[in-house]
């Protein structure tokens, strides 16, 4: 009997080992390509936004980082109470974050500190203080009426008018940083 190392089987052929350097390089390239594809796909749907001013206090504070769904209004509808990011109608190179108060066709009235949409007074537990200005607006069919939650310190639709729908970037989903500020941006009227 032959020792095991000397046994040969004519049906078995030796397997060639792949060139490990080029094999490893190819694996790295595949991993990087997959990472780029995933990044582009995620970036097409979600944006990350930093709050830079006080117009949405106390809901959002300067420095808060949040995730925005860029497809929310391409696939769904606008609702009073949604927090949205949009291009500043007066300077489209800047983005603002505000709360939708009036959707296309709505009548918004602000009197004696109360905000009403189509005659229904909103219960606004999220605002910093009672609104100190008055006015009436009818929202055009291609626009939104938005206000900051820090009403009296916010430059918004009561100052510069309506937000064209084509300027809307997306709907705020949640704050993810800082850790102590993590919260959902759930609509208070749904």
Cβ atoms 67, 47 nearer than 8 A: yes
- Structural tokens at position 67: 């995730």
Nearest to 142 by CA among 107, 166, 161, 170: 166
Q: How far apart are the first and last CA of the chain?
A: 83
Residue 22, H or E segment:
helix 20-45
Per the document, the length of the chain is 190
| Interior angle at CA 103, CA 136 and CA 65, nearest 5 | 110
190 is catalytic: no
Out of 98, 154, 157, 171, pick the active-site residue: 98
Cβ atoms 58, 166 nearer than 8 A: no
98 is catalytic: yes
Q: Which residues pair with 184 in a beta bridge?
A: 174
- Structural tokens at position 174: 């949640």
Out of 5, 8, 55, 74, pick the active-site residue: 55
Nearest to 158 by CA among 188, 134, 140: 134
State the catalytic residues. Answer: 55, 98
């Amino acid at each position: 009997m032959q020792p095991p190392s000397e046994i040969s089987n004519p049906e078995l052929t030796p397997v060639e080992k792949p060139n490990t350097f080029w094999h490893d390089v190819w694996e790295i390239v595949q991993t990087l390509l997959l990472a780029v594809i995933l990044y582009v796909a995620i970036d097409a749907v979600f944006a990350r936004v930093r709050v830079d001013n006080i117009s949405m206090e106390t809901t959002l504070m300067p420095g808060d980082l949040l995730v925005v769904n860029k497809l929310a209004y391409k696939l769904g509808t606008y609702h009073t109470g949604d927090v949205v990011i949009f291009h500043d109608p007066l300077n489209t190179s800047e983005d603002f974050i505000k709360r939708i108060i009036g959707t296309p066709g709505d009548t918004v009235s602000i009197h004696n500190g109360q905000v009403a949409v189509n005659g229904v007074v909103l219960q606004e537990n999220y605002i910093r203080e009672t609104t100190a200005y008055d006015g009436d607006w009818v929202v055009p069919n291609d626009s939104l009426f938005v206000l900051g939650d820090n009403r009296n310190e916010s430059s918004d639709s009561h100052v510069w008018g309506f937000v064209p729908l084509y300027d809307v970037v997306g709907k705020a989903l949640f704050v993810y940083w800082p850790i102590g500020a993590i919260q959902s941006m759930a609509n208070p009227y749904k």
